Amino acid sequence: MRLITLTPAALCTVFLTAPSTAAPIGDFDWPLQPRPAVVRPFDNPEHDWLPGHRGVDLAGSDGQSVLSAGDGIVVFAGTVADKPVISIDHPGGLRTTYEPVSAAVPVGRRVTRGAPIGILRPGHPPCSPCLHWGVRREREYLDPLGLIRHAPVRLKPLIIEPQHA
């Protein structure tokens, strides 16, 4: 067996692609700590009028601190359909939403990634208490898990066996 060292120019380019509904990876992190379990994944319907799940549900506990997933400005902190909701605008035209969350920050407040923005409350069936976390760009809903930077891709040495004629 021989170990062959390849120069960067000799390596193939690896493309990692995400579904078109995925948000771009950036300077974002989980809105709950420690890293929560995903109780219900993103399920974007084919058409806007069809039912779906336009966000993810993250396991949490009543009274748990909810954190801003990224740097931005609080643009809404109030009640929608009897649930407390917070919305934050981020650079690049993204808006994240968090519910049911009692706001600890006023509208207009600039927040940074990881800053506490409110307290998780019960009231999001069927997994209460859990955080419904959503993201959209303009009117297009995206998978918020696409915001999270996963472990980096690492290439391992390539071992090539000599070919025998």
Q: Is the pLDDT of residue 21 over 80?
A: no
pLDDT score for 46: 73
- At 18, is the pLDDT very low, low, confident or very high (cuts 50, 70, 90)? very low
pLDDT averaged over the chain? 80
21, 142 in Cβ contact below 8 A?
A: yes
Quote the CA–CA distance of 78 and 65 in Å, as a whole number.
17
Average pLDDT over residues 9-30: 49
Percent of the chain residues topping a pLDDT of 70: 72
Quote the CA–CA distance of 81 and 163 in Å, as a whole number.
68
pLDDT digits 0-9 by tens, 91-150: 999 999 999 999 999 999 999 999 999 999 997 777 878 999 999 998 889 999 999 865
pTM: 0.74
Output phi, psi for 146, to 5 deg. Answer: -70, -15
97, 133 in Cβ contact below 8 A?
A: yes
Domains and CATH numbers, the chain: 23-151 (2.70.70.10)
Closest CA to 163 of 10, 6, 4: 4
Percent of the chain residues topping a pLDDT of 90: 54
